[in-house]
Structure formats: C-alpha cells, structure tokens
Amino acid sequence: MLYQLNQNRDKEQYHRVKRVTLADIGWKELDLQNLLSKNLFDLISSTDLMTIFNERPMQEEPDILALDKEGDLYIFELKRWSGYTENLLQVLRYGQLFGNSDYDELNELYKKYEKQPHADLLSAHMSYFSLDGNGGLKKSEFNRKQHFLVVVNGLDQKTVEAILYWKKNGLNIDAIIYWVFSIGDEYFIEFNMYSPTENLLEYETNHYVLNTNYSNNQQHTDDMLREHKAAAYYPGWREKIQKLQKGDTVFLYKSGTGIIAYGVADGKLQKADCDGYPDYEYYMNLNKFVVLKNPISASQMKEITNQGFPFRTTMFSISEEAAKRLINTVK
C-alpha cells in the first residue's frame, strides 16, 4: 500500500493513495511488456537480466525471455489483472516449449527481437555482462536452468499456495506483484518481488471480511446492520477501517453466525464517540448494502472458497475469486 504524507508539521495528516488498474488508464499488456523488457534490471535486485525476446502477436510465446550472467533462461508471463493459478500453468507451458531450446534456437529468437539477421547472442551476452574472452559462456552453457516468473496485479490465495508448492518441489517459480496508483492527474506503478513469509500473504485486494465485534458488544453488530456501515472500535482495532477505499467490498462477519451482510465502501472515513470516548469508533458507510436472509457460516465459507480464514482478526482481505464465490452463493 502507498500513503501520501503531509509535509507540514501535522504528521497525522496523511491518506492512502488510490489504487487503479492499467486498464483504467488505457494501458494494454503490450505496454507493460515494453516497460518491463527495457527495465528488467530494476525488478530483480540480486540478478541482472538481459532481454532476448518479446512475444509476437498471435504466437504461442512467453511475453519476455531473458538471460542472466550464467546463461539461465528467465520466462516471464505478464497480466494486466490479478494472478490466478491458470497463469502459472501458462508460464509452465512456455517452459515446456522453450526449456529445451539450445543456443542456436535462442540465437534465432534474439535475432527476431533485435530485428537484425546478423545479431549474435554469444557476443551480445558477453558484452552486456562485461565478460572477457575467457569469462564468456560456451554455447552449451546457455539455458541449462530455467526460472519462471508471473507478473500480475495482485495474487489470489490459491496462486500463492501453488507457488509455494512448486518451489518446495524444486521449481524456480516466483511472482512479481505490481500496483498502479493515482495521485492527482499522475499515475505511478510499483513492483514488488513476491516473498512469502509464514502466515503472511503478500497480496492486496479490494475485498475484506470485517468481524462485527459481536462477542464483545452485540450493539455494534446491530448498529452496522441498521446504519449500513463497516466499523471498528478502540485504538489498535479502529485503524483497520482506514485501509478501506472507495469501491472495496466488505463482508460483515458475526461471530458464531457467519457472514450476515455485505456492501461497497464509499471511501469516506468517519469517526464517532464510543463508550464515552471521543473518536473511538472509525467507520465507513456501505453502499449497495445486502443483508443475508441465510448467513454463510464459517464452515460454509471454507467449503465455498476452498480455503481457511483468520476469523479472530478484526479485518482481513480475501481474494477476488473468493469474494465472487461468496456473493454468487447468496444470489
């Protein structure tokens, strides 16, 4: 996430920058491909990469092929939208097609990329990585190992789990996540290398489950249903509401019952007194508010989405895929 800070003395004045998509600003997948192929050295800090090929229209080819100093082949699959497990299958398919390519085949691809019939990959690789004659690779040393990377606008949980599975089984596969932000009339894109940590999924979504605090105060749940809002209370918990942006979907979860309602955040953070304390409630109104006639229990949520959830936390994000499945269940 990205916050815009106030340069004035009041350091409490900051706000979360609005996220948009590449489609929102008229960018196509080809535009993303051109950006990345010319700036691969910025994406993977530990490894310098040399682009040797870009996808051609109407061809079953990876978006980008690149080589590192050791001659390992990097296969990139780019998406303008969130990452799903199908993207992993696609990049692995390209591994099947190009993983066995010898030097001569890679050299032909490089000629097409450079649009130079006499381009020579061996000498270009030596020059790019500043290798002298003795340090240059032999033709047989190219493409002895492959690395697979999907570049996506966020990851769903199943894709994270699939990446972890394949990595544990020895496959060099990772994801590079990017976010697009809008500040005034300008747009910015941020890339983050996927780096899983135990019990932490490094993806950001527009869909959340909010615990209504029913176990501690039943009135809070009633207030949310009556006033069509998402709320959290007391320091340490209320700040969760600041994470919401306009257009985010919020599911209200009642402990012991399940999901009881959902709506779309209006993006306007509001504060109210709670239990006699000023501003101890942070809330945001929910549009398109739907109260479920038949709540979705915790066990049903797991069955519908085929995943577990940290129900004890105040608010947690879920993937777009999981949100769609939950909504489709009640329609």
> What pLDDT score does 46 carry?
58
> What pLDDT score does 205 carry?
54
In the chain, CATH 3.40.1350.10 covers: 3-193
Q: What is the pLDDT of residues 64-92, one digit of tens each?
A: 999 999 999 999 988 766 555 666 778 88
Is 3.40.1350.10 the CATH number for 3-193? yes
In the chain, CATH 3.10.590.10 covers: 207-330
Query: What is the secondary structure of 22-85 as a DSSP string?
Result: TGGGT--HHHHHHHHHT-GGGT-TT---EEEEEPPTTSS--SEEEE-TT--EEEEEE-SS-B-H
Pick out the chain residues at pLDDT < 50.
196-203
What three-state secondary structure class fits 145? coil
The closest alpha carbon to 190, from 201, 200, 178, belongs to: 178
Domain 207-330: homologous superfamily in CATH? ph1033 like domains (3.10.590.10)
Cα–Cα distance, 327 to 103 (Å, whole number): 51
> What pLDDT score does 8 carry?
66
> What pLDDT score does 197 carry?
38
Q: How far is CA 60 from the centre of its chain?
A: 25
> What pLDDT score does 303 carry?
92
Cα–Cα distance, 173 to 257 (Å, whole number): 40
